[in-house]
Amino acid sequence: MIEPGQLQVSHQYTKASGNKIYIETYGCQMNFNDSEVVVAIMQKEGFAVTKDITEADLILVNTCSIRDNAEQRVLGRLRELRAIKRKKPALKVGVIGCMAERMKEQLLEKEKAVDLIAGPDAYRDLPVLVAKTGTGMRAANVILSHEETYADINPVRLDENHVTAFISIMRGCENFCAYCVVPYTRGGERSRDPETIVNEARNLFDAGYREVTLLGQNVNSYLWKSSTGANITFPKLIELVALVDPKLRVRFATSHPKDLSDDLLRTMARYKNICRNIHLPAQSGSNNILQAMKRGYTREWYLQRIAAIKHYMPECTISTDLIAGFCGETEQDHQQTLSLMREVGYDSAFMFKYSQRPGTYAADNLTDDVPEDVKSRRLTEIIDLQNTLSAENKKKDIGKTFEVLVEAVSKKSKNELYGRTSQNSVVVFPKMNFNPGDYVMVEITGCTQATLKGKVVE
């Protein structure tokens, strides 16, 4: 941390030495939105963002610790940045986000390229930390906060399409799933003032955006205690955002199965602009493994939540996260995961091999005993099954008509647009006179593995 006395001198030095930042982001949507908050903080201090890394005076790497391979990628990148720094000694490099939080000492000791470290709750301190590096020192702040939500900061949008945007509604997590590093890197759970969330959504709509995704590690436990004593829960919050305008689509991520309430499902069903897709990470289909993971629900509870979703919104799609090869996972447990996938019929999934994370309950108390080749084989089986399920679901959409929100011109052809249905399926169709931000009725005529193809209907 910086002493206040050092601040002013070094700050002047920074301004004199160049003010262009290049930021690269690894990991989840929350990290992406955090980068937008960081840019807002830095712009206020006179820094400018550049998309050209060769112009940068400061490179910030916003990092992810969720699995070992995410960290290895960043460590590889830091070696590349070290080579760039050799040619441009005035260049500063900062590591921010989850790896900064988890590996502060190691980064300062071993990574010669790193001048600055800031954890997820320390972004307001970045201008000060940068100023400190201007004196040739290395600077770090990894203090986690019980209050920080960056509620008053208007993120500078870094998305490419200007149609869809993220809004963080809470930070941190207190679920302490046995495998997960997030509660340690992002700290305790706190919710953001709903007024600032609704204002942000309204401002985005006024600026032409047509979809917001409300972000949190566990959005269902969002809770704001207002000064008048009235509590705003997640269903109430999402209703307030949906009411901004019927033409503003609202999505959210991520829901924890133990907290997915009927109240939320009823609210979703009432508003057409709350999207018909729920991301509900199952992690495993086996009760033994769910218990070992400390997930707080059983397979039966999970399936009952799926039934509730289908009851209120039969047209709702469901996506999930699955982990292959958690500690103690037997062949039978793995088969249970495959059978859960078939039973739910997921539309899509993020699928991972278990990666032991230092400091977690599993690392300290359980044995990472599934051999690497078995983990890989199980993951392959999970991925193969998901590909089959996704293809089956896509085929079912052929002949149906969906309202598609256009996001951009297709990467493959400038005569085609792509957008999403409320169910979160990507649709490609002829451009005609439509533009990003338009809602278009599209009849599905075919599909490839990842995309639906369609034609416009009047």
Per CB under 6 A, residues contacting ligand 5AD are: 66-67, 179-180, 281, 283, 321, 323, 352, 354-355, 357
**Shortest spacing between CB 119 and ligand SF4, in angstroms:** 16
Q: Does 218 bind ligand SF4 (CB under 6 A)?
A: yes
**Shortest spacing between CB 177 and ligand SF4, in angstroms:** 3
DSSP codes of every residue in 400-437: -EEEEEEEEE-SS-TTEEEEE-TT--EEEEE-TT--TT
Do strands 211-215 and 277-279 pair parallel, antiparallel, or not at all (unpaired)?
unpaired
Which one of ligand 5AD, ligand SF4, none interacts with residue 173, CB within 5 to 8 A by kind? ligand SF4
Q: Does 149 bind ligand SF4 (CB under 6 A)?
A: no
Which one of ligand SF4, ligand 5AD, none interacts with residue 354, CB within 5 to 8 A by kind? ligand 5AD
Residues 238-267 that bind ligand SF4 (CB under 6 A): 256
**Shortest spacing between CB 284 and ligand 5AD, in angstroms:** 10
CB 305 within 8 A of CB 340: no
If the CB atoms of residues 150 and 179 are measured against ligand 5AD, the closer one turns out to be: 179
Residue 327 CB: number of other CB atoms within 10 A? 19
Q: How far is CA 113 from CA 105, 189, 362, 439, in A?
A: 14, 32, 32, 47
Q: Does 29 bind ligand SF4 (CB under 6 A)?
A: no
If the CB atoms of residues 189 and 239 are measured against ligand 5AD, the closer one turns out to be: 189
Which one of ligand 5AD, ligand SF4, none interacts with residue 355, CB within 5 to 8 A by kind? ligand 5AD
Residue choice 217, 267, 336, 425 for contact with ligand SF4 (CB under 6 A):
217
What is the CA angle 43-45-47, rounded to 5? 50
Do strands 92-97 and 116-118 pair parallel, antiparallel, or not at all (unpaired)?
parallel
Residue 158 CB: number of other CB atoms within 10 A? 17
Residues 41-80 that bind ligand SF4 (CB under 6 A): none
DSSP codes of every residue in 50-113: -S-GGG-SEEEEEE--SSHHHHHHHHHHHHHHHHHHHH-TT-EEEEEEHHHHHSHHHHHHH-TT
**Shortest spacing between CB 356 and ligand 5AD, in angstroms:** 7
Q: From CA 416, how far away is CA 414, in angstroms rounded?
A: 5
Residues 168-187 that bind ligand SF4 (CB under 6 A): 173, 175-177, 180, 182-183
Which one of ligand SF4, ligand 5AD, none interacts with residue 352, CB within 5 to 8 A by kind? ligand 5AD
If the CB atoms of residues 210 and 251 are measured against ligand 5AD, the closer one turns out to be: 251
Peptide bond into 451 cis (omega under 30): no
Q: Does 151 bind ligand SF4 (CB under 6 A)?
A: no
SS3 state of residue 37: helix
Q: How is residue 32 written in tokens? A: 């992406």
Which one of ligand SF4, ligand 5AD, none interacts with residue 323, CB within 5 to 8 A by kind? ligand 5AD
CB 331 within 8 A of CB 302: no
Site residues (vs ligand SF4, CB under 6 A): 173, 175-177, 180, 182-183, 217-218, 256
